[in-house]
Amino acid sequence: MTDIPGFAAIAPQLERLAIEVPSWAYGNSGTRFKVFGTPGTPRSIEEKIADAAVVHRLTGLAPSVALHIPWDLVDDYAALGEHAASHGVRLGTVNSNTFQDDDYKFGALTHVDAKVRRKAIDHHLECVDVMDATGARDLKIWLAEGSNYPGQADLRGRQDRLAESLAAIYDRLGEEQRLVLEYKFFEPAFYHTDVPDWGTSYAQVSALGERAMVCLDTGHHAPGTNIEFIVMQLLRLGRLGSFDFNSRFYADDDLIVGAADPFQLFRIMAEVIRGGALDADSEVAFMLDQCHNVEDKIPGQIRSVLNVQEMTARALLLDRDALAAAEEAGDVLGGNEVFMDAFQTDVRPALAAWREERGLPPHPMRAYAESGYQQEIEESRVGGTQLSWT
Ligand code: PSV
Ligand code: MN
Ligand code: MN
């Protein structure tokens, strides 16, 4: 299959890699300056799912689609699930949304007013209803809550109210369902954020129970943060629930994962593997959380899942015995060389062969360009309202 030593041995773990794609990646997006409309953009959640299914068909890597409520609100989730199944994918994580309602200007789950907190909790309970209907396992909560000025809010009071609100949501979960709490160090609030870091998320979810976990979004850290250390620690503590993959140059850029810093993605995947998150019994979910502002969305998603697969393959090739021997011997540069050798391995030809053996196109980006799908949606999706990320 390949002349890369050890490649055949990594096949079982490579086989297990599955990356959930977000429904919102298929809608139009942009910045606060402009959202660009693109020909062929979906006008319904059904069309988003059809597009997501193309990513899976060409890569074998993206079997599920995350929903965002209320953006993806429909009357009949069972029917939506059937629609997904007919396209060869399934519905995945349900993401709540408490960041687009005037009532939440000063917070939702942390708000000083119990009526606003109740409304925000009820929204999450409705998300759990959706999960019941679709069979989704995870409720993912990202909160846009915080303050802009010192003195604006009592930090401690908000943290206590957050704990209470999360407990009310957690209580509603079924036995097979999980709550996954995402952290982000800033934005839209700039002075303080109520769940700014993995430590806060960990403290909050630990107080809830075993089915509450942390979501690590790779774009939600200060520049220079050692993200793979956080991955290691959360896996060690048994609380890493899921990843939101994307890449960033400056802030929460939501660019294609592995585009800005492939080496960082490699280092993260090395800790994922070291911590057992690709083992058969792993419950860690891998997701994309991206927006394609100026590039075509479907190939943007294809490129993303391929980037994750490539860095996973390289990380699986890491010679851990050689690393351990170098560490044992105090051979600093020897260990680094072993690490860099794996990172520098070009696995693309081997992965192309691996895909062919599984009946997939060897070059999914090329296969998409040649499939005619882009032209087809550009011609057929005229009229109606294109969906956008908000
Ligand atoms: C906002 O920062 C955000 O990108 C979070 O990462 C969420 O996961 C996502 O939006 C969807 O709610
Ligand atoms: Mn995210
Ligand atoms: Mn984000």
b/e 292-309 (16+ beta carbons within 10 angstroms → b): bbeebbbbbbbbbbbbbb
**288 CA distance to ligand 2 middle (Å):** 8
Q: Which atom of ligand 1 is nearest to the CA of 215?
A: 8
Task: Let me know how long the chain is.
Answer: 390
Q: List Cβ neighbours of 129 (8 Å cut-off, separation of 6 or more).
A: none
Residue 20 CB less than 6 A away from ligand 1: no
Residue 182 CB less than 6 A away from ligand 1: yes
With helix as H, strand as E and coil as C, how does 2-27 read?
A: CCCCCHHHHHHHHHHCCEEEEHHHHC
Residue-range domain boundaries for the chain? 12-317
Residue 290 CB less than 6 A away from ligand 1: no
Name the β-bridge partners of 312: none
The C-alpha atoms of residue 51 and residue 376 are separated, in whole angstroms, by 12
Query: Which one-letter DSSP state was computed for residue 102?
Result: G
How many C-alpha atoms does 234 have within 13 Å on its Cβ side?
Answer: 35
Reference 368, options 55, 38, 40, 64; nearest CA is 55
CATH code of the region 12-317: 3.20.20.150
Residue 289 CB less than 6 A away from ligand 1: yes
* pLDDT tens, N- to C-terminus, the chain (390 residues): 568 999 999 998 999 999 999 999 999 999 999 999 999 999 999 999 999 999 999 999 999 999 999 999 999 999 999 999 999 999 999 999 999 999 999 999 999 999 999 999 999 999 999 999 999 999 999 999 999 999 999 999 999 999 999 999 999 999 999 999 999 999 999 999 999 999 999 999 999 999 999 999 999 999 999 999 999 999 999 999 999 999 999 999 999 999 999 999 999 999 999 999 999 999 999 999 999 999 999 999 999 999 999 999 999 999 999 999 999 999 999 999 999 999 999 999 999 999 999 999 999 999 999 999 999 999 999 988 888 876
Q: Which atom of ligand 1 is nearest to the CA of 97?
A: 12
Give this prediction's pTM.
0.97
